[in-house]
Amino acid sequence: MTELKPCPFCGGQAHRMFGPEVWIECTECQASSCMHCNIETAEDDWNRRDEDCELRGKLMAAHSKIMCLESQIEKLRQRLDRRGNE
Ligand SMILES: [Zn+2]
C-alpha cells in the first residue's frame, strides 16, 4: 500500500475512508480528497495534494453560478419581451 503524505493543510495524519466510494481524510481537520472508486487513485489524489481536485471544485461552483445567472437573465428577458408586446 502507498504511504500517505501528511495533511497538506494542517500536517495531520491521513486515513483511508471506505464508503460506497473511497477517499482519504485528515483525522485532524477533516480535509479530504475527492471520491474515488478505488483506493489507489484516492491515494494518488491525496499525495498529489489535491490541487487538481480543488481547482475542479472551484470551476464547478463557478459554472453552476453562471448557469443560475443565465437562467435569471433569460427569465428577465422573457418578462421584458412580454411587456414590449403589450
Ligand atoms: Zn488536516
Q: How many domains does the chain have?
A: 1
27 assigned to some structural domain: yes
Query: What is residue 53's predicted lDDT score, i.e. its pLDDT?
Result: 66
Query: What is residue 43's predicted lDDT score, i.e. its pLDDT?
Result: 93
7 assigned to some structural domain: no
pLDDT tier at 59, thresholds 50, 70, 90: confident
Query: What is residue 70's predicted lDDT score, i.e. its pLDDT?
Result: 92
Neighbour-count burial for 27-66, b at 16+ CB within 10 Å, e otherwise: eeeebbbbebeebeebbebbbeebeebeeeeeeeeeeeee
In the reported structure, the alpha carbon of residue 63 is separated from the centroid of ligand 1 by a whole-number distance in angstroms of 28
40 assigned to some structural domain: yes
69 assigned to some structural domain: yes
3 assigned to some structural domain: no
71 assigned to some structural domain: yes
Could you list which residues have their CB under 5 Å from ion ligand 1?
Answer: 7, 9-10, 12, 26, 28-29, 31
70 assigned to some structural domain: yes
> Is the model's pLDDT at 51 over the cut of 70?
no
- Of the candidates 22, 27, 23, the one whose C-alpha atom is nearest the C-alpha of residue 10 is 27
In the reported structure, the alpha carbon of residue 73 is separated from the centroid of ligand 1 by a whole-number distance in angstroms of 41
1 assigned to some structural domain: no
Query: What is residue 77's predicted lDDT score, i.e. its pLDDT?
Result: 95
Q: Which range of residues forms the domain containing residue 18?
A: 14-84
Q: Stretch 53-66: mean pLDDT, rounded?
A: 79
Q: Kindly report the pTM of this predicted structure.
A: 0.55
pLDDT digits (tens, 9 = 90+) for 3-27: 999 998 899 999 999 988 999 999 9
